[in-house]
Amino acid sequence: MDALKVKRATVEPRAMDHIGEIIGVVERLISRGHAYKAGGDVFFAVETFKDYGKLSGRRLEEMQAGARVEVDEKKRNPFDFVLWKGAKPDEPMWDSPWGKGRPGWHIECSAMSTHFLGNHFDIHGGGKDLIFPHHENEIAQSEGAFREQFVNFWIHNGFVNINQEKMSKSLGNFMMIKEILKQYHPEAVRLFLLSNHYRSPLDFTDQAMVEADAGLEKIYALLHRIDGTLGSSEPAGDGQGLGGLWASFCEAMDDDFNTARGIGLIFETVRQLNRFMDDIAGKPGERDEGRLQSVRCDLLRIGGVLGILTEASSQFFEQRKADALRRKGIDTALVERLIGERALARREKDWARADRIRDELSAMDILIEDQPEGTTWKVK
RNA sequence: GGCGGCAUAGCCAAGUGGUAAGGCAGCGGUCUGCAAAACCGUUACACACCGGUUCAAAUCCGGUUGCCGCCUCCA
């Protein structure tokens, strides 16, 4: 997770540390008539919560209970769910007013989120698969117990498929982040994940990753170009920039985190700026510099939000070259020597020889680019 | 079977009433000794299908088909 630049959570609470709070919520639900004891168990009575189903769009009358599994006959309604479960021999257990047992699924989320965030908080996230029953039940518990709105916004993300198949251990097609990162830059992974809306499922394929990687390189290439003509790669500090790009990006993000649109804006800017720099041909006036400065600042700021573009552009390319060389076992000295020979041939206008050397390098997966300042190369 | 979601060019993907962002690939060009990189131009005239509402629909409504998730214990 750190490698992917995922920020760590402030708190990662565990249910076993909050049994007291859990029992408190259950007691509250019983006293409010939303829950009942049955044997050693305590159930939530879904019929007592009139909004039940509001999140998932289901209505109790419409659902066919027990279509697939027998219903526990202790329940008053088949959709009643357990808040506290009577102890079973081999399971961990705690004391409670209803005897030894353990919390049901759902309840610890209500208890812990309330404990840390209050009865009413802003955003609750989770995978799409948790909408029903888990999140539905959380709402019932929390709103039943505290009589106020539980959360303002639910954010449910879609899943990652691999070659159109659900990623799962039983299919044996799951991939470890560690493995993926051996092949692709962490920021390329992020760019890929952010390239479509978080709610949609997305398909992990090599082609998609190669494209994401190429896209990342393209953005860095622009930054590198800007750094080159501005003669400084020092990150622009806060307070500069904040131009139109940043504003548009914020607008996209304010629209339900439309990262795909945000990334579209980045590429649009990259194209415009490359054109701009083609036009000024490496000799920017003062106002041009201001524009470059401003866009660079906006890009880096956006990168900060998305968790990309966090490296200095020169470092990015050096690192990438080094990785590729190591992976393919290419001899740098040999490459440099061949490029030197080719430069000589070119000076003598011996194009045939120059092209032969280029082909030779190409066979070694080396791609060369002749530029006014000299020849640069990279690994394919 | 029930409920929910999705269906946009060769591929990926934005776009929820006013005439289709962006990326990749392709094709044509500029630049270059030739390339590469970059840029310019080009690529959807039924946005799954059928019907409806509207001056106007990818966008709203109804139906059909296909795909995905959930409907159970566990998290």
ipTM field: 0.91
| Among A140, A141, A113, A111, CA closest to A126 | A113
Q: Decide: CB of A10 under 7 A of nucleic strand B.
A: no
Residues A28, A153 within the same domain: yes
pLDDT confidence band for A299 (50 / 70 / 90): very high
Does A195 reside within a domain?
Answer: yes
Residues A50, A143 within the same domain: yes
Domain boundary among A259, A282, A314: A314
Q: Decide: CB of A282 under 7 A of nucleic strand B.
A: no
CA of A133 to C1' of B14 (A): 31
pLDDT confidence band for A214 (50 / 70 / 90): very high
| CA atoms of A187 and A223, how far apart (whole Å) | 15
**Mean of the pLDDT values across residues A238-259?**
83
**Contact in structure between A144 and A44 (CB atoms under 8 Å):** yes
CATH number of domain containing A72? 3.40.50.620
**Contact in structure between A320 and A218 (CB atoms under 8 Å):** no
Residues A146, A176 within the same domain: no
Whether the per-residue pLDDT at A235 is higher than 70: the answer is no
**Mean of the pLDDT values across residues A64-88?**
75
Does A114 reside within a domain?
Answer: yes
The reported pLDDT for the residue numbered A68 is 47
Residues A102, A170 within the same domain: no
Six-digit token string for A217: 């390189």
Q: Are strands A151-157 and A121-127 parallel, antiparallel or unpaired?
A: parallel
The reported pLDDT for the residue numbered A1 is 77
Q: Decide: CB of A64 under 7 A of nucleic strand B.
A: yes
Residues A264, A292 within the same domain: yes
Q: Which of residues 197-216 of A touch strand B (CB under 7 A)?
A: 197, 199-203, 207-208, 211, 214-215
By C1' distance from the Cα of A375, the closest nucleotide is B36
Q: What percent of chain A has pLDDT over 90?
A: 50
CA of A145 to C1' of B51 (A): 48
> Which CA distances in Å does A365 have to A180, A225, A368?
22, 24, 10
Q: Hey, what amino acid is at A285? A: G
Q: What is the DSSP letter of A10?
A: S
Max mean pLDDT among A70-74, A185-189, A281-285 falls in A185-189
Residues with Cβ < 8 Å from A277, sequence gap 6 or more? A225, A226, A229, A292
Does A61 reside within a domain?
Answer: yes
Residues A122, A21 within the same domain: yes
Could you identify the residue whose CA is nearest to the C1' atom of nucleotide B13? Answer: A196
Domain boundary among A141, A157, A173: A157
Could you identify the residue whose CA is nearest to the C1' atom of nucleotide B36? Answer: A369
Q: What is the 3-state secondary structure (H, E, C) of A77-101?
A: CCCCEEEEEECCCCCCCECCCCCCE
The reported pLDDT for the residue numbered A282 is 66
Q: Decide: CB of A81 under 7 A of nucleic strand B.
A: yes
**Mean of the pLDDT values across residues A248-264?**
93
Does A5 reside within a domain?
Answer: no
Could you identify the residue whose CA is nearest to the C1' atom of nucleotide B31? Answer: A278
CA of A241 to C1' of B39 (A): 25
Does A147 reside within a domain?
Answer: yes
Does A128 reside within a domain?
Answer: yes
In tens, the pLDDT along A335-357 reads 999 999 999 999 999 999 999 99
Does A65 reside within a domain?
Answer: yes
| CA atoms of A360 and A372, how far apart (whole Å) | 22
Q: Are strands A202-204 and A160-162 parallel, antiparallel or unpaired?
A: parallel
Residues A140, A190 within the same domain: no
Range of the domain at A361: 330-379
CA of A132 to C1' of B7 (A): 24
Q: Decide: CB of A270 under 7 A of nucleic strand B.
A: yes
Does A10 reside within a domain?
Answer: no
The reported pLDDT for the residue numbered A194 is 93
In tens, the pLDDT along A116-167 reads 999 999 999 888 888 888 999 999 999 999 999 999 888 888 888 877 666 6
| CA atoms of A154 and A109, how far apart (whole Å) | 14
Max mean pLDDT among A14-28, A152-166, A233-247, A279-293 falls in A14-28
Q: Decide: CB of A261 under 7 A of nucleic strand B.
A: yes
| Count of structural domains within chain A | 3
Six-digit token string for A205: 């394929």
The reported pLDDT for the residue numbered A365 is 87
Whether the per-residue pLDDT at A334 is higher than 60: the answer is yes
DSSP β-bridge partners for residue A203 = A161
CA of A264 to C1' of B14 (A): 8
Six-digit token string for A165: 């198949």
Q: Decide: CB of A257 under 7 A of nucleic strand B.
A: no
Residues A232, A189 within the same domain: yes
Q: Decide: CB of A254 under 7 A of nucleic strand B.
A: no
**Contact in structure between A219 and A211 (CB atoms under 8 Å):** no
pLDDT confidence band for A316 (50 / 70 / 90): very high
Residues A181, A310 within the same domain: yes
The reported pLDDT for the residue numbered A132 is 86
Q: Decide: CB of A229 under 7 A of nucleic strand B.
A: no
pLDDT confidence band for A74 (50 / 70 / 90): confident
Q: Which of residues 125-184 of A touch strand B (CB under 7 A)?
A: 128-134, 159, 166
By C1' distance from the Cα of A127, the closest nucleotide is B69
Could you identify the residue whose CA is nearest to the C1' atom of nucleotide B3? Answer: A58
Residues A21, A152 within the same domain: yes
Q: Decide: CB of A267 under 7 A of nucleic strand B.
A: yes
In tens, the pLDDT along A38-63 reads 888 999 999 899 888 888 877 777 66
Of A195-204, A214-223, A236-245, A292-301, the poorest mean pLDDT is in: A236-245
pLDDT confidence band for A66 (50 / 70 / 90): very low
Domain boundary among A106, A139, A157: A157
CA of A197 to C1' of B65 (A): 26
CATH number of domain containing A178? 1.10.730
Residues A49, A131 within the same domain: yes
| CA atoms of A222 and A216, how far apart (whole Å) | 10
> Alpha helices, DSSP H only, in A106-242?
107-117, 136-146, 177-183, 186-194, 206-230
| In the block, residue with structure tokens 């190669």 | A210
- The mean pLDDT value of chain A amounts to 87
In tens, the pLDDT along A109-129 reads 999 999 999 999 999 988 888
Of A173-187, A213-227, A243-257, the poorest mean pLDDT is in: A173-187
Residues A166, A153 within the same domain: no
